Structure formats: structure tokens, C-alpha cells
Amino acid sequence: MERTLTSYIRALRSAGAGVSTTEALDAARTLEIVGYGDRQVLKTALGTVLAKSVEEKDLHEQMFELYFSRAAAAASAQSDDSDEADTSSEDPDSGSNSDDDDGGGEASGQESRGTSLMDLAQTADAGQIAMAMERAGARAGVDEIRFATQTGYYVRRMMEELGVEALEARLMEQLGQRTPEGEAEAEKLMEARSRVQRMARVHVDARFEVFGRSATEAFMNEVLVERSFGAMGRGDMDRMKLVVAKMAKRLAVKHARRRKVRNRGQLDLRRTLRANAGHDGVPFDVVWKTKRKDRPKIVAICDVSGSVAQYVRFLLLFLFALKEKVTDLETFAFSAELADVARPLETLPFEEAMMRIIDEVGSGGTDYGKAFLQLKSGYGEIIDRRTTVLILGDGRSNYSAPRLDIFQEIADQAKRVVWLCPEPEGNWGTGDSCLLQYKPFCTLLSHCTTVTDLERALDEVLMAYD
Amino acid sequence: MSPEHTPKGLGSIADVTALLASVGYISTPEISTAVYLAHHLRKPVLIEGPAGVGKTDLARSAAQALEFPLLRMQCYEGLDESKALYEWKYGKQLLYTQILKEKIHHLIEDSDGLDASFKKLAGFQDLFFSRDFLEPRPLLKAMEQTGGSILLIDEIDKSDEEFEALLLEILSDYQVTVPEIGTIEAQVPPLVILTSNNTRELGDALKRRCLHLHIDFPDAELEARIVRTRVPAISERLLAQLVGFIQQVRGENIRKLPSISETIDWARTLILLHADVLEPAMVRSTLNVILKRQTDIVEIAGKVDGLLEAAQADAVSTR
């Protein structure tokens, strides 16, 4: 049973829960204390010991159900008294058509191969089937499965472990005889084979759910974060939301800490006196003045004209995920006219809000100069010395006046100006792009097309407040 | 590996539930399992969950039921070892130096030279850094309890990361190291309960040393049982309506969801006001008991009728 536990822990790890060795040891001790008697108790107890956050609890909940499924429970119940099970399977009646290959060198191989494929195909004992599958699966290394496409391979490996070769040899032999009895026998053999194959497939599929599914998910997420926003399809959107939420959480954890810095060298007299009252006023402990750090404030200005709209979606998704914990956030969208879009984004579901914003603001020729002017005159007071102005756009202003004077005023007023551009650097300043004119006023101007780029840029923005 | 002495009431998971029920704390299987394992594995329990679901109360109830002293350590930003572990009684040390001055004079009188005097004093130098001059703070106090104790480290997420590191020695080995004296080991390992409201992510090292318990808002049935235990005067009809309404409010998109403690407060309020059914007008005028933000109150006040109806419908469908 120890093995069951370690393998379960491995399953949890491959699903993304960080289970340490200490926790594995705790789990083993927990088993000793609570025993296997009550499934529900076992589940709760393991959840307490192994899962250390709400997400991990959910994961444990899922994995426990998958892993300790009914069939597996039956199998483990039988393997506890495996001696009886094995002797019973080698009863005389099964000995007649035993095509045991006896090829297994290991000790554990012998007993289970005693249950021949034919027996397995005919038996109705779920426990016996589960046990045989469990063993063959372990020898075939099914737990290593990572991708759905490997299913066929592992089913074949399991069949080999179950002794399919001997059965096939016999099948060929029967077919070669070309007699009615031979053919009837062959028919039976084929049927047995396909039945066992189905069972093996069920087993491999279940294992894939446990060990492979999350690996596949992780792999797809990995691909996605490096994919350009422009190349993303509708179907990627849901997965993307999860990925972004995860990244945002990571950033939040990194930057939500330490809101105070010591101002070394400036004595806080009042607090020093208070701290040393117990020492007769002799200043043993000196307290320095501290300064609260600014909470990051981001004013995001997004170009939502057709060419950039897709990128804006992800930036806003990311910013909103950060909003609760890390930043104060003001959001504006523009193409011809500038509008404050905080309201729809806060009240409507994200997709709906985006549609409405693009509907309302996204028409007409993009005019950066006008947008900056409207920002300055309409909302000038929201930009202060703790504000990072975050602009997302390609800087293609349809040959209208860039209003560098206004942009400079905004830049002077703000802490930093960060411009994220979906176009590669080579295209900056070509055609109607005014990016290079704006560039001198930006603290940071960077090319941004994937979530990873976005994460890096936002990390950079937040770093300025640490 | 079970500790030598298991107090009555921690013998099995069912016992824990009964134990907590005896002091009016309605436990769930998760909570009982965590407390049971905490004792038998000798591990601290880290409890997370929204404010007001009974995290702190679990420690208080367990202490009351087990008749253990409860040592409470409220965490805050800037909490350090002199407030959590121990502090030297500097005043007393100074006073004693003054008093003992003459004795010392007497002692070194007959030795000539600085060297000889110093050697003579060397034998006494540990005198001032001994247990007598140590002021124990909650964590050290918990180590010194001989009959078992409950150590509650409340709102650990409010403390600094340095403090978290300080806790590691205590949580894994149940000992405190005072450089001048040595290591003080716990007589009887205390049952340690840490609570967190998740304002920041706790370190992995800390989490690894703890069992983890997440207490969420209760479902209607459990909530009704809790309110019934805490506010026995409430009529069944009002209780069902009240719990149904609260459950509906939790489904709304508001900033601060009402917790169990708010439900209990509200039940008490309604009893004081002699209400025996929930009426929209009554609900509106007492919303400030369950909702703590003006915007939330405004939001819900507009929906009271609908929510009451939904709660009613829910109750009918479950019946």
C-alpha cells in the first residue's frame, strides 16, 4: 500500500501540486493513524496533509476520485490477500486452455501471468480484472503516459505484458490448420483478444486522466504563452484567461509585498522613546522613520482600432487580474475619440465589455494627438507622480498631428511612460507611424506580442515601485 | 508515533466533533480531521478562509473544551521577536546591578589588579542573563506550559516575512533558542493554530510545516445549525428565512460578503427587534448588520424583495 501512496503523490505532482518529501512522510504517518477503513476520512485527512491551498485542495479532490476509483479500490483490496486470489485463478478448469507464456523472469511476473488472457476475457470478476490490469499496467510503465497520442502504444505494451504474443501465436496456428474446429477456436481467441484490449484501453485512458492530462495542459499553456496575440483563435481565449490569471497572480505575489521601506538615518524620536520606556529611557533600540511606498497606479490608454484591438484584449485582461491586489487602475480606450472604459469593464462580463468598447470607441481613424489632448484636458488630474502611463498602440496616427507638446506634458507629470507596441522594431517610424517621435519621452518603449512579453513589461512597470 | 498522552476528546475524529460541539462549536469533518491530525502528527494547523467563518473561534473553543490555556499571538506589521518570543527585563537588570554593586565591591576587594578581579567576576557573569531576567512572550510561554496548551497565531499574513522565518523553529521542533541561555524545549508540545486571511501569500517553508485547513462559508444546513446553537431563542421559521436570505446575498456580486459572524449578529438583532418573519422593510433597515460597505448596502437594498423570493423558492424546492 505504501506504493499506492507514493504513486498517488507522484500523480499529484504531475498535476502541478508541489508535494515535498516532508509532506509525503506526513501522508504516510497519516495513513498509519487514520487507516484505510473509511474512504471519506482518508480523503479529508490526505487533503489536510498534502494540499496547501484552495487550488491544491480542488486538485486533490479531483485526483483522489480519479486515482482511488472503485476499480482500483477493488484491486487493492484483493492484492492485500493476493495469495488466495492467485491460487484461485490457477484452478484446474482454467489450466486446460492456459497458453501461459511463462516468459516473465521476475518473481511477480509469474503469478499474474497465471491468469491467462483467455481467463481474463471470460471472467466477470471485476476485482480480478482490475488487479491484472493494474499489474500489467505497472510493468508496461503506463504511469509514464503524458500525451493522449501515446494511448495506442501503451495499450499494445500492456497487451504484451498480459501475454498477447502467446495468444497470437496460437491464433496463427489455429488459422493455419484450416479446419472448422480450428476456425471456431480462432474466432474465440480473437474475441478474447479484443475484449482484453478494450479493458486495457480503459485502464490506459484512466491513467492518462491521472498522469497525462495535466502534462498536456501544461504543454499547451506553454505553447500559448509564446504565441503571438495576432495568431490566437477564439478557442484559445478560455485557456488564455486561465494562463493570464495565473501569471497575474505570480506578479501580484511578487509585488504585493513590502509596502514600507526604512528611511535609515532619520530617527523616529517618538517611537524610540516608546520602545525604550522599559529600559529606563536608555535608547537601546533605535527606531528609524519609515516611509510607506506608493501603491502603483496605472493609467492605461489603449488604441482599439482594428489593427490593435486583439492585443488590447489581453493587456486589459492582465491589468484587471492585477487590479485587486496590486494597482490602482484607470483605463481609457480610443481610436478617433478617447473614452473612459472603466465602467463597462467593471460591470459587464469581460467579453461583452470588450465588444461594447470596440463598438463604441473603435470606429473612425486613429488619432493619437487628439487622444492625448483629450486625456490631458479631460482627465489631467488623475496623472500624478505615482502614475505609470501605459500606452498600448502601434503609433499609427493617420498623418494627424502627433501633439508632442501635450505628450511631453503628460510624460513630465507622470512617474513613467511605458509604451507597448505590437509592431516589430523594424516597422517603427515607417509610413504613418509616429512612434520614433514619441520615443524620446517614453521611459520604456517595447515590442510586445505574446503573453510572456506582456508579463515582462508589467513586471518592469511594477518593479519601479519596489 | 502518537504522543504519549492523548487528552480525552482527541481520541478519534468523532470524539473531536463531539468535543467541539460540547462548547457550542459546530464542526465539519474537515475541521475535526485537521484538529485530530494536528495532535497526532504534532503539526500546526494553518487555517485559511474569509473573515468571520470561525477560524479564531476554533482555537478558542478547542482551548475551552480541552481546558487548556489559550495563548494568543496577534500578528501585525513590525511584530518582532521581543514581542513574540522573549525580552530581557532591562529595568530589573539595572536595578539589581545597583543593589548588588556593594556586594561586588566586597567580592573583588581583596584581589589586586584588574586581571584577578575580572577572573573572579567571570564566574558570575551568567547571573544577569538567566531565566530570572527573561520576560516570556506568548510563543515562549506556550513552550513552558506543562499541561498542554493551545497556541493561536492569529492573522499570520499581517506579519512580515522575517517573522515567518522566526516561527519555523518553533513550528517544526517546538523549541525556542535564546542565545544567552540556550535552547528551551517545549514541555508538552502545544497545539498550534495559525490563521490567515490571505492578504498575502505565505511562504512555502511555513506551509510545508503545517497542515492546511480551508474553512469556507457554510452551506445552508450547516449555517442553520450554527445559528441555532449560538442563538437558541430564534424560531425555526425565522431561522430558515434568515439563512436562506444570507445564502442568496452570498451569491450577489458585492465587495464584502456576509460571514457566519454577521449571520449570528443579524439573528440576535432580529430577536431584539421582536421580528418573527423577515419583512422587506425590516431587512432594509437592518442591512447594515450584515453588510459593511455603503455601496454593498445600496446594491442589496434595491434587490431585497427579489432575494427574499429567491430564498423562499429555494427553501420550497429543497423541501
Where residue B211 falls among pLDDT bands split at 50, 70, 90?
very high
Using the structure block, give the residue that is written with the C-alpha cell 497606479: A297
CA distance B214 to chain A (A): 7
Q: What is the pLDDT of residue A69?
A: 67
For B91, the closest of A53, A256, A279 (CB atoms) is A279
Residue B4 lies in a domain: no
Interface test mutation site (partner A, options B162, B208, B216, B253, max chain A beta carbons within 10 A): B208
Q: What is the pLDDT of residue B260?
A: 92
Check residues A265 and B215 and name the one with the higher pLDDT: B215
d(CA B308, CA B314): 10
pLDDT at A87 over 70: no
Using the structure block, give the residue that is written with the C-alpha cell 566586597: B106
d(CA A8, CA A24): 10
Size of interface A-B (CB pairs under 8 A): 75
- With an 8 Å Cβ cutoff, are B200 and A256 in contact? yes
Using the structure block, give the residue that is written with the C-alpha cell 490631458: A376
Q: Which alpha helices (H) appear in chain B, and where do they start and end?
A: 13-22, 29-41, 55-66, 81-84, 90-108, 114-122, 138-144, 161-173, 204-209, 220-230, 236-250, 260-272, 280-290, 294-301, 304-318
A51 in B contact zone (CB under 8 Å):
yes
Using the structure block, give the residue that is written with the C-alpha cell 544577569: B128
CA distance B184 to chain A (A): 24
Dihedral in degrees, nearest 10, Cα atoms A29, A34, A39, A45: -60
Same domain membership, residue B203 and residue B77? yes
8-state DSSP, A209:
I
- With an 8 Å Cβ cutoff, are B41 and A49 in contact? yes
- With an 8 Å Cβ cutoff, are A279 and B207 in contact? no
d(CA A179, CA A220): 54
Where residue B48 falls among pLDDT bands split at 50, 70, 90?
very high
Q: What is the pLDDT of residue B69?
A: 93
- With an 8 Å Cβ cutoff, are B212 and A53 in contact? yes
Q: What is the pLDDT of residue B225?
A: 92
pLDDT for B167-177, tens place per residue?
888 888 898 88
pLDDT for A9-55, tens place per residue?
888 887 777 788 888 999 999 988 888 888 889 899 999 999 888 88
Which cell numbers hold the place of B230?
Answer: 449560538
> Phi, psi (5° rounding) for residue B190?
-75, 155
pLDDT at B70 over 90: yes
Same domain membership, residue B299 and residue B193? no
Which cell numbers hold the place of A208?
Answer: 492518462
Q: Which residues of B touch A (CB under 8 A)?
A: 1-2, 13, 29-30, 33-34, 37, 40-41, 43, 45-46, 48, 77, 82, 87, 89-91, 94, 161, 200-201, 204, 207-214
Same domain membership, residue B232 and residue B209? no
CATH of domain A297-463: 3.40.50.410
Same domain membership, residue B264 and residue B199? no
> Mean pLDDT across the stretch B106-135?
76
Burial class (CB in 10 A: 0-12, 13-18, 19+), A125: middle
Q: What is the pLDDT of residue A72?
A: 53
pLDDT for A407-466, tens place per residue?
999 999 999 999 999 888 888 888 888 889 899 999 989 888 888 888 888 888 888 877
- With an 8 Å Cβ cutoff, are B41 and A260 in contact? no
CB atoms within 10 A of CB B219: 11
- With an 8 Å Cβ cutoff, are B90 and A278 in contact? yes
Residue B176 lies in a domain: yes
Using the structure block, give the residue that is written with the C-alpha cell 453588510: B291
Where residue B25 falls among pLDDT bands split at 50, 70, 90?
very high
Nearest partner of A24 among A36, A37, A44, A8, judged by Cα: A8
Residue B6 lies in a domain: no
Q: Considering only CB atoms, which chain A residues are within 8 Å of B207?
A: 52-53
Q: What is the pLDDT of residue A143?
A: 80
pLDDT at B166 over 90: no
| Domain spans in chain A, listed from the N-terminal domain onward | 2-92+107-221, 260-292, 297-463
Same domain membership, residue B108 and residue B48? no
For A280, the closest of B2, B82, B94 (CB atoms) is B94
Query: Which of B173, B192, B214 is where one domain is finished?
Result: B214
Same domain membership, residue B226 and residue B209? no
Q: What is the pLDDT of residue A324?
A: 67
pLDDT at B239 over 60: yes
Closest residue of A to B42, CA-based? Answer: A26
Check residues B297 and B130 and name the one with the higher pLDDT: B297
Q: What is the pLDDT of residue B319?
A: 55
A268 in B contact zone (CB under 8 Å):
no
C-beta of residue A89 within 8 angstroms of C-beta of residue A128: yes
Which cell numbers hold the place of B46?
Answer: 494553518
Query: Which of B214, B246, B272 is where one domain is finished?
Result: B214
Which cell numbers hold the place of A390?
Answer: 501605459
pLDDT at A78 over 60: no
C-beta of residue A457 within 8 angstroms of C-beta of residue A448: yes
Which cell numbers hold the place of B127?
Answer: 547571573
For B207, the closest of A26, A32, A52 (CB atoms) is A52
Pairing of strands A387-392, A297-303: parallel
- With an 8 Å Cβ cutoff, are B201 and A253 in contact? yes
Closest residue of B to A27, CA-based? Answer: B41
Q: What is the pLDDT of residue A102?
A: 38
> Mean pLDDT across the stretch B89-96?
82
C-beta of residue B144 within 8 angstroms of C-beta of residue B187: yes
Same domain membership, residue B21 and residue B160? yes
CA atoms within 13 A on the CB side of B215: 30
- CATH number of the domain where residue B180 is located: 3.40.50.300
A256 in B contact zone (CB under 8 Å):
yes
Same domain membership, residue B188 and residue B114? no
Q: What is the pLDDT of residue A86?
A: 39
Q: What is the pLDDT of residue B246?
A: 92
Residue B319 lies in a domain: no
d(CA B193, CA B62): 10
Where residue A281 falls among pLDDT bands split at 50, 70, 90?
confident
pLDDT at A108 over 50: no
Burial class (CB in 10 A: 0-12, 13-18, 19+), A391: buried
Q: Considering only CB atoms, which chain B residues are within 8 Å of A20?
A: 208
Query: Which of B133, B149, B164 is where one domain is finished?
Result: B133
Residues 6+ apart with CB under 8 A from A355: none
d(CA A323, CA A296): 10
Dihedral in degrees, nearest 10, Cα atoms A29, B47, B201, A8: 30
- With an 8 Å Cβ cutoff, are B212 and A52 in contact? yes
Range name among A33-37, A202-206, A323-327 with the lowest pLDDT average: A323-327
Burial class (CB in 10 A: 0-12, 13-18, 19+), A228: middle
C-alpha distances in Å from residue B148, one per residue of A124, B5, B68, B143: 56, 10, 6, 9
- CATH number of the domain where residue B300 is located: 1.10.472
8-state DSSP, B293:
-
- How many separate domains does chain B show? 3
Q: What is the pLDDT of residue B125?
A: 64
> Mean pLDDT across the stretch A235-264?
74
Same domain membership, residue B201 and residue B147? yes
pLDDT at A276 over 50: yes
End-to-end CA distance of chain B: 47
Residue B202's domain spans which residues? Answer: 13-81+141-214
C-beta of residue A333 within 8 angstroms of C-beta of residue A339: yes
C-beta of residue B23 within 8 angstroms of C-beta of residue B64: yes
Residue A430: helix, strand or coil by DSSP?
A: coil
Q: Considering only CB atoms, which chain B residues are within 8 Å of A253?
A: 200-201
Residue B1 lies in a domain: no
Same domain membership, residue B169 and residue B124? no
Q: What is the pLDDT of residue B265?
A: 93
C-beta of residue A391 within 8 angstroms of C-beta of residue A414: no
Q: What is the pLDDT of residue A90?
A: 37
**Single-letter residue type at B280:** P
Q: How high is the mean pLDDT of chain A?
A: 79
Residue B5 lies in a domain: no
Dihedral in degrees, nearest 10, Cα atoms A375, A379, A383, A387: -80
A277 in B contact zone (CB under 8 Å):
no
Nearest partner of B16 among B49, B52, B61, judged by Cα: B61
